[in-house]
Structure 1
Amino acid sequence: MQIATFTSRRCTEMGDVELRFYEILIREEIENLCENGRFLQMASYIQHGDISVFEHSVGVAYMSVFIARSLHVKLHHMVLIRGALLHDYFLYDWHEKDRRHCLHGLRHPRLAMRNACEDYELTKREKNIILRHMFPLTVVPPTCREAWIVCLADKICAVLETLHLSKRRYREYFPMALRESYMR
């Protein structure tokens, strides 16, 4: 039985073994983040459309791996995955009318990094991913390959979510274990 994946029909060049390897890495990192911090709280907040921040972050992690593998980019895959999962770790509902949520697009990368640093030990590259994922809205560009890929993956996922093209796909492409364990 073949595991449903984020790549589905679009990425047949990656073998089943490689796909399962990345699914396992992402799943294990999600479990690690849930056990050691407030990561699961992100499921309580909506990001775009009807997609939670949790679902968005997992989608960005899968999209980031898909981009990196499709382009054959050499990078630190665990840094890529971890940075993608934590890039929106701001832990509030930015849709609520609140003065502190003003300019969310500009401010949330720093809040996400502050929260992530409180809960987890981060590498320099993971910090760069979190801080720079909103480029070009935030004017300082990413400085590592992993951050550039997450920045691009975030934009792709945000567009799909805003246009309501992702909910069904996220549920279809995420591995069964993730779907059952974490998604509403």
Structure 2
Amino acid sequence: MQNPNAWRNDQDYLNIVDDLLQHDEVQQLAQYTQHHFSNRLRHSISVSYQSYLIAKKIGADATATARAGLLHDLFYYDWRVTKFEEGSHAYVHPRIALKNAQKITPINPKEADIILKHMFGATIALPKYRESWIVSIVDDFAAVNEYLVPKAYLTYFKWHTKWVKKVAEVFA
């Protein structure tokens, strides 16, 4: 598993996203839990950086991928609590994220597609660009990593602790 802070030492990546990271609107994402074991800023950076590395490796638009990946979840509510009449969170939040992103930086058509289509699978909007596919897939893997992997570890830890106590009781 890659160091989750590797992005901090990647000057090429930082040159692409640093202006976005300086915005209070982006930094505020740290206040929101994402997938139980992460916050939205950490999640967004993870998706952005992993997507950037893939895009760079395959010769895709690494700049659009990194920037849109960072902004893909630029919304300020707890999605487990807040509900919308317009549709599900999966449908609504990419539109909110795009509107919020457009308030802080110019967004080109590719970046807009990446942000709007990052929930492909949960929504029916088909990604238009390979960069959109990259962010959508990386976002799914990040969600699993941030939710299931730590949860599985905690489940194991709880089971192991109970098992050790029972064994200790037998030999006490």
TM-score normalised by length of structure 2: 0.75
Q: Which amino acid aligns with 1:99?
A: K
Q: Does 1:25 align with 2:9?
A: no
Q: Does 1:145 align with 2:145?
A: no
Contact 1:60/1:150, CA 8 A, preserved across alignment: yes
Distance in 2, matches of 1:93 and 1:154, equals 18
- Percent identity of the aligned residues? 33
Contact 2:74/2:97, CA 8 A, preserved across alignment: yes
Provide the secondary structure at the position in 1 that maps to 2:34: strand
Alignment RMSD (CA, Å): 2.7
Q: Does 1:42 align with 2:26?
A: no
Contact 2:83/2:89, CA 8 A, preserved across alignment: no
Question: How do 1:112-123 residues align onto structure 2 when only pairs under 5 Å count?
Answer: 112-123=97-108
Contact 1:125/1:144, CA 8 A, preserved across alignment: yes
Question: Structure 1 residues 7 and 53, CA, compared in 2 at 3 Å: closer, same or farther?
Answer: closer
Q: Equivalent of 1:108, from 79, 93, 118?
A: 93
Provide the secondary structure at the position in 2 that maps to 1:92: coil
Distance in 2, matches of 1:44 and 1:30, equals 20
Measured after TM superposition, the shift of residue 36 of structure 1 is 4.0
Distance in 2, matches of 1:151 and 1:76, equals 15
* Higher Cα radius of gyration: 2
1:23-73 deviation line (CA, Å, top 9, x unaligned): 22333444311334511011010110120010001111122134335xx42
Higher deviation after alignment, 127-136 or 23-32: 23-32
Contact 1:37/1:120, CA 8 A, preserved across alignment: no
Question: How do 1:35-184 residues align onto structure 2 when only pairs under 5 Å count?
Answer: 35-36=22-23, 38-69=25-56, 72-96=57-81, 98-100=82-84, 103-165=88-150
Distance in 1, matches of 2:78 and 2:58, equals 34
Q: Which amino acid aligns with 1:61?
A: S
Contact 2:55/2:61, CA 8 A, preserved across alignment: no
Q: Which amino acid aligns with 1:65?
A: Y
Question: With CA pairs under 8 Å and 6+ residues apart, which has the higher RCO, 1 or 2?
Answer: 1
Distance in 2, matches of 1:110 and 1:145, equals 20
Contact 2:114/2:135, CA 8 A, preserved across alignment: yes
Distance in 2, matches of 1:94 and 1:20, equals 28
